Amino acid sequence: MKPVVMAGAGMIPFERRDDDTLIDMLAEAGLRAMDDAGLGDQPVDAVYVGNMASGLFNHQVSVASALVDKLSLYPAAAERIENGPASGGSAIKHGYQAIASGMADVVLVVGGEKMREVIGPRATDVVACMAQPEAEYIYGVSLPALAGMFARLYMKAYGITPEHLAQVAIKNHANGLLNPYAHIRARVTLEGILTHPDSKVGNPIVADPLRLYDCCPVSDGAAAVLLTTPEIAKKLSAKPAITVAGIGQATDTHALHERADPTDLKAVTIAAQKAFEMAGCKPADVDVAELHDAFTILEIAESEHAGFFKKGEGAKALAAGETQIGGKLPINPSGGLKARGHPVGATGVAQAVELVWQLRGEAGERQVKNAQTGFSLNFGGFGNNVVALVLRREK
């Protein structure tokens, strides 16, 4: 297979974007990535759009062909890739395969979602459509409900406390303050989240034991990367091209209760192992990681299942400051889904964009020193379809 690099990266601020259509957002992010790569007159052979639910959120389908038309990239091949909240990671995987196989030389991958076009309960219902339809959805199960049940089991099994969950939020909100693209740019404190007299009002229970500040916001946004070969990347720009060193993907049972141990995120472990094996490295080689913290408990659990810490040690590493910027393994310097936001189809691509900026040394105030290898984990469903990436800046 041909080597594949990310030659360009771009995104737009995640927020409520009432004045933009979904295609407007996808186009702006795509243009930023192409400009970043110095694309010029080089044709784009294919466009892959990671998007979960444009038909339900925006009453629009065929968004990939609409994006090609908006950007005048025809006759580029165009496809929308759907894998729930891991749609962005899957779109990158498809773009990688197109380049590596020789079917394409330049691929634009854009992830995006416009979720704020519907009211909150409707957005919750759309996201809940990824639940098992006969065993979960029809009984009113939502993703926060699944996360709450998972959190209760995981906390009991590994001694994780509400303070640990709050520390994830505090860290990622602090990182989000340094990210101009983040949806929520506000500092939070342990006292404000857990012990303030108004905490039950300002931080109400969403799905016990998870509270408002344990959950990511509902966001609009888009992010994009331009994939190509190392040879073409060198012709386009003097910027360092970031190698897609490893990709892993794995699935697990659709219904959470059918797993032998509901606290065991097998798809996370297998996807990460596959990505590391392909990249020829191990978790200890990673300098910076972007993990899918749609709920605070997930950052802790994923950090263990991906191999960065032993089971039960992730919360201890968090409390010791190891996952902060400047720590042993900075996790979610972007602010993560918790602060950067989670427009579901955009998230996997946004994670990759952050890693490209980190590995180039372009992340500004949130820069991780001497970052050479990055890892991202895009969590589909409730861990039933997971995509992991290893990106590397070649020496």
| Predicted confidence band of residue 203 (pLDDT cuts 50, 70, 90) | confident
Segments forming the whole domain that contains residue 224: 5-119+218-236
- Whether this prediction's pTM lies above 0.95 is answered by yes
- Which 3 state secondary structure label does DSSP give 150? helix
**Is the residue at 281 inside a domain?**
no
Cα 321 from Cα 294, distance rounded (Å): 21
Q: Mean pLDDT for the chain?
A: 96
- Band (58; pLDDT cuts 50, 70, 90): very high
> Is the pLDDT assigned to residue 157 strictly greater than 90?
yes
How deeply is 121 buried, as exposed, middle or buried, from its count of CB atoms within 10 A (0-12, 13-18, 19+)?
exposed
Number of structural domains the chain divides into:
1
Better-scored residue on pLDDT, 155 or 196? 155
- Section 217-231 average pLDDT: 97
Q: Is residue 61 part of a domain?
A: yes
Q: Please report which residue ranges of the chain form alpha helices under DSSP H.
A: 22-37, 54-58, 63-71, 87-100, 120-128, 143-158, 162-176, 190, 199-202, 230-236, 266-279, 296-305, 314-319, 336-339, 347-360
| pLDDT of 97 over the 70 cut | yes
256-307 pLDDT tens trace: 999 999 999 999 999 999 999 999 999 999 999 999 999 999 999 999 999 9
- Residue 284's CB is within 10 A of a number of other CB atoms, namely 10
Is residue 173 classed as helix, strand or coil in its secondary structure? helix
CA 252 to mean position of chain CA atoms: 19
Pairing of strands 242-251, 385-393: antiparallel
- pLDDT exceeds 90 at position 4: yes
| Measured distance CA(150)–CA(290) in Å, rounded | 21
Q: Indicate the range of 8-22, 54-68, 77-91, 190-204 predicted with least confidence.
A: 190-204
Q: Under a CB-based contact definition with an 8 Å cutoff, are residues 72 and 134 in contact?
A: no
Bigger pLDDT: 195 or 383?
383
Residue 264 is encoded by which pair of tokens?
């065991």
Residue 197 has pLDDT above 80, yes or no: no
Mean pLDDT of 65-76: 98
Asked if residue 333 is part of any domain, the answer here is: no
Neighbours of 331 (CB within 10 A): 30
The confidence score (pLDDT) of residue 241 equals: 87
pLDDT at 202 over 80: no
User: Is residue 160 assigned to a domain?
Assistant: no
pLDDT at residue 193 tops 90: no
What is the band of 246 on the pLDDT scale with cuts at 50, 70, 90?
Answer: very high
Residues 6+ away with beta carbon under 8 Å from 55 = 61
- State the average pLDDT over residues 208-223: 96
What per-residue confidence (pLDDT) applies to 200? 61
- The pLDDT of residue 394 is 87
**Domain assignment of residue 75, yes or no:** yes
pLDDT for the residue 191: 85
Average pLDDT of the segment spanning 37-45 = 95
- Do 145 and 136 form a contact (C-beta atoms < 8 A)? no
Inside any domain, residue 28: yes
* DSSP per-residue letters across 178-236: T-TT-S------HIIIIISTTHHHHS-EEETTEEGGGBPPP-EEEEEEEEE-HHHHHHH
The answer to whether position 36 is within a domain reads yes
- In whole angstroms, what is the distance from residue 243 CA to residue 102 CA? 16
User: Is 138 domain-assigned?
Assistant: no
Which pLDDT score is estimated for 45?
A: 98
Percent of the chain with pLDDT over 90: 94
pLDDT for the residue 299: 98
Residue range 62-71: mean pLDDT, rounded:
98
Using DSSP, how many helices (H) and how many strands (E) does the chain show? 15, 11
Residue type, 244: V
Q: Is the pLDDT of residue 201 over 80?
A: no
Percent of all residues in the chain with a pLDDT value above 70, rounded to a whole number: 98
CATH number where 229 lies? 3.40.47.10
